[in-house]
A and B are shown apart, each in its own frame.
Chain A
Amino acid sequence: MRSLRTIGTVAVSVFRESVRDKVLYNLVAFAVLLMAASYLIGQLTAGQDIKIIKDLGLAAIATFGLMIAVFIGIGLVWKEVERRSIYSLLSKPLSRAEFILGKYCGLGLTLAVNVAVMVVAWYVVLAYMATTVPPEVRAGWTTPATDLGMLRAVGLILVELMLVTAIALFFSTFSSPFLSAGFTLGLWVVGHFNADLKNFEAVVDSRAAGWFAHGLYYVLPNFAAFDIKQQVVYAQAVPAGYLATTALYGGVYIALLLTASVAVFSRRDFK
C-alpha cells in the first residue's frame, strides 16, 4: 500500500538522521564498558564473573536503549514543528498520521539496530570469558556463558523500549522536550511500582483510595512485567504464554499511544 511505503520512507529518514547525529556512537561506549568491566570484575569478586557480565550486559542494553528512546523520542515531533521543517514536509502527499507512524518506526528501527549490535558484542565478550576459564570451572556452571535463552529477556527489553518510545513520542506531539522527558521518565519509574499500587488497600484505610490505586494499576503501563533479566541469567523457565501475553500487552499499549498521538497531532495548528 502507498501508505506503508510512505511510512517506510519517513522511517528510513529518521534512521539516517540518527546515524548522522552519531547516536550509534553510544555502542562504542557500551563496548568499552563491557570490556573494562570484564577485566576489572575478575580482580574483585570471588567467583561469578560470568554472572556479573550477564547482568551488566542486560542492564546496560536496557539503560542505553532507555536513554536513546527518551532523548530522541521527545524531540521526534517537537524538533520538526519548532524548526518548521514540517511546513514543507506536510505539503507533500503525507498525512499527519503517516508522519507520526513513520517517525515512530524510524526510532524503533534505530533502537532495534542498536540493541542488536549490543547483543552481539555482549555475546562475544561472554564467549571470550568462557575460553579464559579452566574447564573444571566451566563444568560447574549451571548455564552456559553464551546461553541463547537470554535473548528472551532482550526481546522483552526491546518491547519495553518501543513502549517508552511511544510514550515519548506522544508527549512530543504537544509538549516541550523538558516536560516530555520528565513525564516519560516519570511514567517509566512509576510503571515499576505497580505492585505497590495493587496492594495499596493493605496500606491505606480508605476504600476509595484503594479502588483508585487499583484502577491506576491497570491503566498505567506496567514496566515491571517486562523485566525477566534475573530469570534468564539463572536459565529459569519463563512460560511461552507469559512472553506472548507481555509482548502483546506492550503492543496494544503502543497502539493506544500511537492512536492518541495521531489524534492530538491531527488537530494541531502549527504556529
Chain B
Amino acid sequence: MGRRFFTPVLLVMLMASAIGLQALRERGGELPAGPDSVLYVRSPAALQRMALSYKSILADVYWIRAVQLYGDTRLGRRADRSFSLLHPLLELTITLDPYFGVAYQFGALFLAEAPPGGPGRPDLAIKLLQRGIEAKPDDWRLYQATGFVHYWSNQDYAAAADWFGRASRLPGAPTWMGPLAAVTLAEGGNRKASRLLWRQIQEGAADDWFRNEADRRLKQLDAMDQIDLLQNVVATFTAKQGHAPAAWADLVRAGYLRGTIVDPTGAPYRLDGSTVSLDPKSRLLPLPKEGARP
C-alpha cells in the first residue's frame, strides 16, 4: 500500500520544497536594485519600425506603463522619484498612435503636475499637447488641456483664456467653454473661475480618475475658503482679546465657533499662534498657489 502512495507524496513534497525555496529567496531580499525602470527602446522611430502591424496595441502597452509609472512613483513605490521615464514613455505612446487622445490629455496633466506629485514639467506637457494638436487639429479637448496647463502650472491666465477661447470655437466643444474663457480672462487666479473650471470638469469627466481629481481640487478650494474664514475669526478674537487663541477651545468658549472645524476630508485644522493651516497629513496638500497676475 505504501508503494502506491509513494509517487504522489514525492510529487507533493517536491512541489512544497520548490514553493518554500521561492518564499525563502524572496524573504532574503531582492538583488541589489538596478535601475528599477528600464526602457530598452528609446527611439520612437525605431520602435515604429519594429512594431510591424502591432502599433496600436503597443501604444496601449506603453500607455499602461506610463500610467503605472506615474501612479507608483506618486505612491512612493519606486526608488526613482523623479518620474524620469514618464516623458519618454508618453512620447513612444503617441508616436505609435498619434490619435491616442487620452495619452495627450492625461499625459500632459501628469507631466505638468508639480513635485512631489509629478515631474513638474509644464513645458513638456505643452509640447506633448502641440503634437496632439498637429495630429488632431479639431479636438477641442487638447486645446482645453493646453489652457489648463497654462492656468495651473504657469499661472499665465491670458494664455489660458486664449486657449479656452480657441477650444470653444471648435466643433463639439461644450457650451460652457466660451464663458470659461471670458471668466478666465477677467478673473483668472480667482477662486470663482477655478471653481467653475473644476466643476465643469467634474461633471463632464469621462472616467473616475479625472472626476476624483476634480473633486480633490474643489475640496482644496473649499478648504482655502474655510481657512480664510477661520483666519478672520482668529483675527477678530486676537483684536478683541489682545492675544492669539491658544487652541480652538478658546474660540469655542468665547462663542466664535460652535465646535472644532474640520476640513473637507474630515481632518481638523491646526492652529499655530494666529496661523490656521491644514493638518500636515491632509490629502489636500499642497494647496494651489493663489496666483499673482503676470
Contact = CB atoms under 8 A, between A and B. Distances in A.
**In the complex they form, do A and B come into direct contact, defined as C-beta atoms under 8 angstroms apart?**
yes
Interface in B52-96: 52-57, 59-60, 63-64, 67-68
A69 B146 CA distance: 47
Contacts of B205: 136
B55 A52 contact: no
B83 to A, nearest CB: 15
Interface string B205-218: 11101100000000
Interface string B119-133: 000000000000000
A55 B53 contact: no
Given A140-B206, A230-B99, A46 B53 contact: no
Contacts of A55: 56-57, 59-60
B57 A46 contact: no
A47 B53 contact: no
Interface stretch (A27-35, A56-64, A248-256): A56-64
Interface stretch (A84-92, A103-111, A172-180, A188-196): A188-196
Interface of A is mostly: helix
B21 to A, nearest CB: 28
Interface residues of B, number: 24
Contacts of B100: 48, 51
Interface in B19-57: 49, 52-57
Contacts, number: 67
A45 B63 contact: yes
B206 A59 contact: no
15 contacts: A45-B63, A46-B209, A47-B106, A48-B100, A52-B57, A55-B60, A59-B56, A136-B204, A137-B206, A192-B52, A192-B53, A193-B49, A230-B55, A230-B56, A234-B99
Interface of A: 41, 44-48, 51-52, 55-56, 58-59, 62, 136-137, 140, 189, 192-193, 196, 223-224, 226-227, 229-230, 233-234, 236
Interface of B: 49, 52-57, 59-60, 63-64, 67-68, 97, 99-100, 102, 106, 204-207, 209-210
Given A41-B64, A193-B49, 5 more contacts: A46-B209, A47-B207, A59-B56, A136-B205, A234-B99
